[in-house]
Structure 1
């Protein structure tokens, strides 16, 4: 894509006072936010519990990663397909079916008596996440008109999604220590049941007036391509970037996605119209979102490594330390719509990236001393969480604005895929960088490896800021008459 193509128009956010929401819309928003928060928690709630699960079900240490990989493969690989299915067959219908599957899969996971049963439950949890997340987001963007109301809804959604990832780490440690790892599954069941009881009476069905044919070749190619990419990234964290499995999976995924793009250009009813991808707001908004999710979620992994291997914290103590990060994300998500309303999406996205980068760079001051380092970690993660949420909300607004309702499921599907791929690939990337810089397993070597990975993390954020500054024009520039 040329520089001319990248300098498209960022959506203009008018500074107007948002209209008060009706009672029904408040309930709709609450239902959708609860569902999205629950899905975000599922990404990380089992991380702390993995050793206990392995011991309880007889899963070897080498195979524990499949508990996370089975979920990530399906959640990332099927998101775009389900986003399009939501457009074609009804967003509310897919939202409700997905929630029902999630509740049943969570119940089965909690009752699992064998590794096969548990991993099967994780597969269906991932499929349910791939269905519910884009359907819920598209219901949000079609229920609230473009402008302050939608910005506020997306801001709250982004805050809770990001906070959910952090909450999952905390909640997983608490439930595992106080009750059992099985409650990391069971906790989804009552939440899903409550949403299923309320949602049908308050959320209206949303679907296009005409139903085009589903693009089966495109669906097969993009799903297989994403599955190969996600598998490659997860294997990189285990086997390294130079392994045959990692390189082969990534190469296969890239080839399948390239073939998918070629096929979509010739389809009369494509799964993903390439014209949507050519919109600078969609393309570059998603690029910024990918970096935002990749860097912040992988930072949680790096700091977990630091807290446990350098400072000697227990999993529960380490998890609780991230409560401040969760508070920062909620704060950032709450104020993001107001900030965007005053300075515009592009400026807010760039400012958030700079704040996140500065806070991440500050973490290079961490040492083996508990007192000062812990205070630095808490302050930096709070500030970084605020900045990260400005980027995420800006990304969500940018990537879903200026599109007709019949393409909202597609746009939110792409945005959700970006989010889940970022979460999935962040940890293996940073894990490979950190372990590659460690000479041994000693605390000083771990600290050095974590510091190198943190420096790379901050550099990625700064790169995303530069891309946004160049490739998204300011509203004033966009509004200037052409000569």
Structure 2
């Protein structure tokens, strides 16, 4: 992005965009520092990085490449990015709702029953940071479009799968494809819309995509499974995704960075490949162990899993030391350690981790409660998630309106308090509970905090990173959320399985299962309570975000 004098071009709609550096409070001494890439956060002599959330007047930032975006193109950008974010989790929701039928149709062994879901998170989680760093060099649009079309191909492949190996393999490639799209969304939105209502709406709609997609996937998965078949759910996804991918070629902004060097040279010299490999292998091994634990409670004591877990922990401990070594020698660093010293940024990441762990657990175990305890069909179970979907849509619309008017601590704390009720209701529910009592309210209230927090987090994080590393920032954010999903599912599944196993001798099957599910729901309550404490304390100095600036 070549620096130019700020100018207002002829208005072609409400989206007159002036791309400005998004890093707040980073006082730089030279113009070069303002345009440095992600490896340029020198430890020596760098001013402190502070994240301002109060919306106070901040000195004008360098603007680059003023651009006008028509109303039609702006709306298409929102629909395109939110649509793929929606399809990302919708496929997982469909899979969970129809897993018993899929397992029966293609013969998935009991020991691999959760692997089609686990390998998706495993593949995506390993590559989010790498693709985020690559996107900042080769261009966010190019990587997003490539990943989106690959997502179409492998979604169709899942629908055509005939064996357990095929569906596990294609779900793995699907995870790789989506890891090209998720990190780039923040950068694409901030380069399309100026600060203000339209950017807030874009982040809110993109935030709505993930939790809403999973919930609606549960609904549609049950409907398709009990009618035309689960394969058609994936064919429908592929058709929608193809339309979104094609529209993105026209709508998404082309983003290029300031450099006279070739892309190949920059990929070799400006990406911290060793750091990316260290953290990706560490997280990949950890997610693998968690997936094995989710599949069977007895897998955790396995010697191989213990060794892999130990290697993962050692690599995670080594990663910040490697980053510190890189920054001290003015070399590329994947995620500068300095970023984690900011309490607001750290609070957002910790909150998202526990929040996504809670949401994933509520949705997963509510599905099991309806189908395995109450004996409902996939269709009957899925219909019960409609309140979940309605609340998710409503909360994101309201958040887009309130985000620039209400302090983020108030938004996140109130929503966390409301959501905290959901796991309590499910942990105390009776086996034969009427849906309109505890289950209805649990599903209705559970998406409030995740949807609010996702939108707030995207805006806060986009303001904390300079434009040239926003794809990497998006990778960090989605990595945290994805990791929270995996950890939440693994821990709650292991707890539920352990309690059920120790209770099976004295109780019938349904009551033993329910006792295990109660343990999982109380664990989810603890996770949701952690979110409440973190946002209340960590964001206490936060003001409002997302305000339009002249």
User: Do both share a fold (TM > 0.5)?
Assistant: yes
Q: Deviations over 1:19-54 (max 9, x none)?
A: x98332112111111111111212222123333333
Q: Which residue of 2 is the match for residue 217 of structure 1?
A: 274
Mean alpha-carbon deviation: is it higher for 86-95 or for 33-42? Answer: 33-42
Please point out which of 509, 513, 534 is paired with 1:446: 513
Distance 1:66 1:363 in 2: 26
User: Which aligned pairs between 1:343-358 and structure 2 lie closer than 5 A?
Assistant: 343-358=406-421
Q: Deviations over 1:365-384 (max 9, x none)?
A: 4112332x543211232122
Q: Which residue of 2 is the match for residue 481 of structure 1?
A: none
Select the structure of larger CA radius of gyration: 2
Deviation at 1:121, TM superposition (A): 1.4
Q: Deviations over 1:351-402 (max 9, x none)?
A: 111111123323334112332x543211232122223322332233333323
Deviation at 1:462, TM superposition (A): 1.4
CA contact (8 A) 2:78 2:202 kept: yes
Change (3 A) 1:402 1:230: same
Q: Deviations over 1:107-150 (max 9, x none)?
A: 22222333333322111101001111112332123322334332
Please tell me whether residue 180 in structure 1 is matched to residue 229 in structure 2.
yes
Please tell me whether residue 361 in structure 1 is matched to residue 424 in structure 2.
yes
Q: Which residue of 2 is the match for residue 249 of structure 1?
A: 308
Distance 1:282 1:224 in 2: 24
Please point out which of 354, 374, 380 is paired with 1:317: 380
CA contact (8 A) 2:97 2:367 kept: no
Mean alpha-carbon deviation: is it higher for 155-164 or for 419-428? Answer: 419-428
Please point out which of 63, 79, 96 is paired with 2:145: 96
Distance 1:468 1:82 in 2: 29
- The answer for unaligned runs of 5 or more in structure 1 is 1-6, 479-483
Instruction: Say which SS state the counterpart of residue 90 (structure 2) adopts.
Output: helix
Change (3 A) 1:53 1:447: closer
Distance 1:144 1:343 in 2: 21
Please tell me whether residue 437 in structure 1 is matched to residue 504 in structure 2.
no
Please point out which of 516, 519, 540 is paired with 1:473: 540
Distance 1:36 1:281 in 2: 25
CA contact (8 A) 2:54 2:544 kept: no
Instruction: Say which SS state the counterpart of residue 214 (structure 2) adopts.
Output: helix
Q: Which residue of 2 is the match for residue 47 of structure 1?
A: 96
Deviation at 1:471, TM superposition (A): 2.3
Distance 2:151 2:72 in 1: 28
Change (3 A) 1:140 1:10: same
User: Which aligned pairs between 1:208-287 and structure 2 lie closer than 5 A?
Assistant: 208-210=257-259, 211=266, 213-240=270-297, 241-267=300-326, 268-287=331-350
Deviation at 1:476, TM superposition (A): 6.2
Higher helix share goes to which structure? 1
Change (3 A) 1:197 1:64: same
Distance 2:244 2:292 in 1: 35
Q: Deviations over 1:3-27 (max 9, x none)?
A: xxxx975623589xxxx98332112
Q: How many residues align?
A: 467
Instruction: Say which SS state the counterpart of residue 254 (structure 2) adopts.
Output: coil
CA contact (8 A) 2:496 2:517 kept: yes
Change (3 A) 1:231 1:396: same
Deviation at 1:288, TM superposition (A): 0.4
TM-score normalised by structure 2 residue count: 0.79
Instruction: Say which SS state the counterpart of residue 398 (structure 2) adopts.
Output: helix
Q: Which residue of 2 is the match for residue 394 of structure 1?
A: 456
Change (3 A) 1:243 1:110: same
CA contact (8 A) 1:14 1:341 kept: no
CA contact (8 A) 1:38 1:164 kept: yes
Instruction: Say which SS state the counterpart of residue 182 (structure 1) adopts.
Output: helix
CA contact (8 A) 2:339 2:345 kept: yes
User: Which aligned pairs between 1:124-139 and structure 2 lie closer than 5 A?
Assistant: 124-139=173-188
Change (3 A) 1:360 1:118: closer
Distance 1:249 1:356 in 2: 35
CA contact (8 A) 1:232 1:245 kept: no
Change (3 A) 1:177 1:74: same
Please tell me whether residue 305 in structure 1 is matched to residue 368 in structure 2.
yes
Distance 1:477 1:122 in 2: 40
Distance 2:392 2:106 in 1: 35
Q: Deviations over 1:232-291 (max 9, x none)?
A: 111111233444344433332222122222222222112222233333333220110111
- The answer for unaligned runs of 5 or more in structure 2 is 1-48, 58-68, 260-265, 546-550
Change (3 A) 1:57 1:380: closer
Change (3 A) 1:462 1:85: same
Instruction: Say which SS state the counterpart of residue 265 (structure 1) adopts.
Output: helix
Distance 2:491 2:436 in 1: 25
Change (3 A) 1:194 1:359: same
CA contact (8 A) 1:237 1:427 kept: yes
Q: Deviations over 1:159-189 (max 9, x none)?
A: 2211101111122222222122322332232
Distance 1:297 1:476 in 2: 29
Change (3 A) 1:309 1:65: closer
